[in-house]
Every structure is written in C-alpha cells, then in structure tokens.
A = this chain, B = another copy of it.
Amino acid sequence: MHDEPPTTGARRARIADVARAAGVSATTVSHALSNSGRVSEQTRERILRAAEDLGYRPSPRATALRSGRSRTIAVASSMSAAVAGGAARQGFYLEVAAAAAERAFDYGYALVLVPPIPDELIETLGHLSVDGLLVVEPAQDDPIVRLARRDGVPFVSIGSFPGATDAEEQIDLQSDTAAELVIDHLVRAGVRRPALIVGDRPRTSYAAIEHAYRRAADDHGWPPVVERIFEADGEDGGRQAATRLLTADPQTDAIIAWVDAFAVGAVQAATALGRTPPAVRIVTRFDGPRARASEPAVTAVRLHLPEAATAGVDELLRLLGATTQPRAPIPRPELVFRASSPDHQQQA
C-alpha cells in the first residue's frame, strides 16, 4: 500500500532482506516469487516463508520502473467541458468508473479516476503513470484520444466514436438500438411533433438519434426540429432549449433530450409552461440518477454501463497482455418507462 520513508519504526522489508533471511540471492527470490518455476521446490518454500515472516511485498514503484508496467489503468471522460456546466453526465461517468474499478481490481490492477478537465489541461495527464486508458464516449477528435494516440497508450473507448481507426477497440453501447427504442416508443405513443435536443460535439450517440429521428420524421410527416446546444450548459441548456422549442411551436408534443441533464432541464421547462410531462412527453438516453430523480421521472434507456465498463476493462487488459479472457457480454439496451412518457400500452 505504500513506499513511504520509514516514518513509523520498522523499515519495510526489501528483496535483499528476504534473500538474506532465506540464504539466497535476490535473483532467486525474484524467481521464486514470480513463479518462474526455475527454483527448487525446497528453496522456494524457504523463500516464501521468509517473505511471509518479513511481511515482504515487492515495491510497486520499483517493479513498475523495471518492468515498464504499473498495473494501473485510468478512466477519463471526454466530457471535459461538463465541469463548467455542473457535472453534466457525471452519473454516466461514475457508473462506468465504479464498475471498471471493480473489474480492474479483480485483475490486480488499480484504477485512476481522471476528473473532467478542460481541454487545455489534457496535457497534464502526462503525469499519470498508467498502462492503459478507458475513455468514456469520446467525441470525434477528442483531445484525450489524441493524447493517448500520440503517447502510444493503449486505450479502449466505452461507446464507439467517430474517427476511430480499425485497430482501436471500442465497446459498443448500441446507440442505434437505443435510438430506435426511443423513436419507436414515441411513434407508438402517437406523437406528432417531437423535437430533438443533442449536444454540439460530434458523438456517435448524437448521430444515431438524429439519424433515427430524421428517418422517422420522414416516415411520419413530422416537421424535423433539432436543437444543438453546448454540452457544458447541462440542465440550464436543456431548460432554455425546451423553452424555445415549446414557445416556438406550442404543438410540440415530445422532446427527445439525448443527455440526461438536458432532459431534466426540459422537464422543468415544460412544467413551468404548464405542460407538465407527459403532457409533453420527454425521453432521454441514459437511465441514470438524474433521470430517476427528476420530478416527474424521465423515461430512459438502460444502457448496461456496468457491463460495458467490465467489458472495457477486459478488452484493455487483453491489449496489455494481462488476460486472455474474452469480453464480458453486454445486454441489449432496454427502455425504462417513467412518468415523463409512459408506455402507450398502459395508457391505452
């Protein structure tokens, strides 16, 4: 757990101490402990006993320097601007981080949490000493991805992203399916004037919903209305956009707000205009704490982020040669109906 200078009494045991206690060389201790199988069983046991007695644990710092591996990975969100707008999508990021930390730990890897940081500070990530990187839903030309590419740090994205090369591993969050689920739901519910709010950066998930939306608009004769707002504006942005939409066209009967923070703002806007959802239906993508805690709560898509994060760690550790285990599977996204847009069945 540490490599402090000996503050509290007993100095931490080093490999040399174990060697001395066992009457062998440090080399042999290293071999014995790494299970390379080149040490006689008898010697090995003596060494293990000595190590145990001394409470020896190899210095992770020395191991890292020598081996070039730190057994540490990091998870970073590309939604760096989010910090300005009040932790937009934080639930998303933390849900991934928590599951990833658990899986990483199972493999004996530590997980570093990189806070959302402004693009200018991305460079300072050079301080990190990690073997690999998990990037949460990068945008096209995402600065974090650029840095990882430049430094040759293996990375895996949670969610696919525009501009990924064939060699880059992505955990598919099935954005197309999520988009279709939501659009189908609205179609079946019989809406006639749904509008769409997405963020302003090029992300796969936005492209997916916009595509599905425009196609449905074509099919059903909806006038297509797409608002693109700053991600960093979060709830405020969603509130303002929804207010604009509902004022510009009072016939608007649904808002697809594709970021949970936008949706929460949209619910507030609709309510303030006397059109409390589901009077205007509001739906979003990520079924996280925000969607659940909104009042009324927001219909959303269960993306199975923990499973995706787990698969991301599996994949990353495979890249690092730390496992040969195949990716854990990720279930298909599912719609979670809430008061902001109940299932049409139930109200029929």
Q: Does A304 contact B (CB under 8 A)?
A: no
Q: Does A102 contact B (CB under 8 A)?
A: yes
In the complex, A154 Cα to B7 Cα: how many Å? 10
Query: Min CB distance, A57 to chain B, in Å?
Result: 4
In the complex, A75 Cα to B61 Cα: how many Å? 19
Using C-beta atoms within 8 Å of the partner chain, give the interface range for chain A.
Answer: 35 or more
Interface hits, A1-28 → B, CB 8 Å: 1-9, 12
* Assembly stoichiometry (copies): 2
Q: Does A117 contact B (CB under 8 A)?
A: yes
Query: Min CB distance, A88 to chain B, in Å?
Result: 13
- A residues touching B (Cβ–Cβ < 8 Å)? 1-9, 12, 57, 59-62, 64-65, 68, 70-72, 74, 83, 87, 90-91, 94, 97-98, 101-102, 105, 108, 110-117, 124-131, 133, 147-148, 151-154, 289, 292-293, 295, 297
* Contacts A1-B127, A3-B70, A108-B124 known; 19 new A-B pairs at CB < 8 A: A1-B128, A1-B148, A2-B129, A2-B130, A2-B151, A6-B152, A8-B152, A57-B126, A60-B127, A61-B61, A72-B112, A97-B113, A101-B114, A105-B115, A110-B114, A289-B289, A289-B292, A292-B292, A293-B293
